[in-house]
Structure formats: C-alpha cells, structure tokens
Chains A and B, each alone.
Chain A
C-alpha cells in the first residue's frame, strides 16, 4: 500500500499506459482522447452547421464513458491514493520557474499562478488558459490525434505520420517554452 501512495516511477507508469492502450484495442476500441472533443461538438449540434461534425457520433459514446472513468480515476488517485508530497522536480526546473515568477514549483499539482481563481480572473491568466486550450483543440484535430493517439498508439504501431506529429508536438512545445515563455512571464 505504501508503494501505491507514493508517486509512481516512470518505469511503472509507462507500461501501465501501454496496457490501457492495449486493453482498449482488445475491447475493439481505440486509445484516442482528443476524439472526444469532436464527439462533444457533434453532440452539441455542431453537425447541423459544419459537415465535419455531421457523423455518427453516437457510435463514439463508449469513449465518453472512458472520459468519465478518467475523471473518476483522477479523483480516486488524487484524494484517496496519494500522500500529500511535493513533485520531485529537478532543481534546475525549480530555479528556472522561480526566475519566471513561479514560486513554490512542485508543491501543487498545477501552478496556482495559472490555475487559481485569482489567476483565472485576471485578464492575462484567462487569455493564457483560453489560448492554450484553443491551440490544443485546434492542433489536435488538425494533426488527427493527440498524445494518446499519435505518441502512444501511433508510435507503438510504428506509423510514420505519428512520428511526424510527435516531432510537431515537440517543435511547438519547445518554441513555447524557450521562445514565448520569456516574453509572457
């Protein structure tokens, strides 16, 4: 039990994620989290105006159940299966974040500088969360998948398009962290 309560090392977590992917394939499904965004748009009636959302979204309802499960899993892991300890970030990361104005790095799951209500209701904070979310939603559909569909499933099945997409993920991520963050913060 003590082992479960501590943060899990990468060599346990990684294979577990692969098992999630494999189980979903075994049940005749796929591992793709961003597809749910399209499904939810279609559910909301976007299919009437935009052809891209005019498809049989009801056949994708199972994936929304996976999402529901993931939310429950997040609750269980965070509130029932975790000792409150800091994230063991590298010292260099903590120092760099401090220089950007992020104090107490690793003492929360997410930085309060971005996700606390104070931050959310500041203009800058709100713009950051909205543009970040927008870029993820737009980019993932453009690329035809996200981390689960491309990085895990696509690379596991040795598909070239997924490798290109993952290179893109990193290109974008590195530009954001190394070029845009110094301007933003």
Chain B
C-alpha cells in the first residue's frame, strides 16, 4: 500500500519526468527543489516528533533510522557517479520502477543496466576507495 502511494505521488508530482530533472540541474524551476525541500523539512519534523513521543514501530521496537557509516570518499565519488547517470537518463531507482507502470517499456533497459552496474560494484567493492 505504501508502495502504491509512493508511485502515485511521484507521478503526480512529475518527479519521474526526465524533463523535470533536466530543469532542476539547470536551476530553471523551483519545482524539484520545492519537492525535495518540503520532503526533508517534513521528514525532520516527523522524526523529531516521533523521537519526543517515543513512538514505537508496529513491530514493537523503537523507531530508528539506520545510520550511514562515516566516510567521505565513497559518498562524494559514488554520489557523483550516481548524479551523472541520474541526469543522463532522468531517473533514479524509485522512478525507474514507477515508470514501468506508466507503460514506458524502454525503462527496462535502464533497469537492466542499473542491475549490471550494481553487480559490477559488488565485483570491484574491495578494490575501490571507501
């Protein structure tokens, strides 16, 4: 159900559109910045509130966000590589799946290539600086 909602939101917000991503990287519209900005602000508020109210998950554990490992190299290099691909095909992993639903079959090629990219990362992981 959450997935369905996610898919609907990203299509209705046009965040799945290649054009919107291009526009964002050209700084020609506030649209995408508005989406990401309000998402992060709402996210911060929701997480702070749940911390204060000690909200528990449905599984009974305390609600926690998994912490990312410390580091710099992997985030800046990996992030930049991701950014190159994101701008080129206009889709990050979420929208890739969602676009299947909108009937864009050619996105399957992008997904297959992303799977290959992930696999190659797995192959090279120990040789890369992290």
A interface residues (Cβ-Cβ under 8 A, vs B): 4, 7-28, 30, 33-34, 36-38, 40-41, 46, 50-53, 65-79, 81-82, 87, 89-90, 92-93, 96-97, 105-106, 109-111, 114-117, 119-120, 126, 128-148, 150-162, 164-178, 180
Contact B106 A151 (CB under 8 A): no
Question: Across the interface, which residues of A come within 8 angstroms of B72, CB to CB?
Answer: 164
Contacts of B120 in A (CB 8 A): 134, 138
Q: Which of A169, A170, A177 contacts B22 (CB 8 A)?
A: A177
Q: Is the interface of B mostly helix, strand, loop or mixed?
A: helix
Closest to B13 in A: A13
Task: Tally the A-B contacts, defined by beta carbons under 8 Å.
Answer: 482
Q: Is the CB of A25 within 8 A of B57?
A: yes
Q: How large is the interface on B (under 10, 10 to 19, 20 to 34, 35 or more residues)?
A: 35 or more
Q: B residues within 8 Å of A by Cβ?
A: 1-26, 28-44, 46-47, 50, 55, 57-59, 61, 63-72, 74-94, 96-104, 106-107, 109-123, 125, 128
Contact check, B9 vs A137: say whether CB atoms are below 8 A apart: no
- List residues of chain A with CB within 8 A of the CB of B10: 13, 17, 70, 73-74
CA distance A89 to B38 in the complex (A): 20
Interchain CB contact under 8 A, A139 and B81: yes
Residues of A within 8 A of B69 (CB): 144, 161
A12 to B9, CA, bound (A): 9
Is B101 a contact partner of A133 (Cβ separation < 8 A)?
Answer: no
Q: Say yes or no: B128 contacts A142, CB within 8 Å.
A: yes
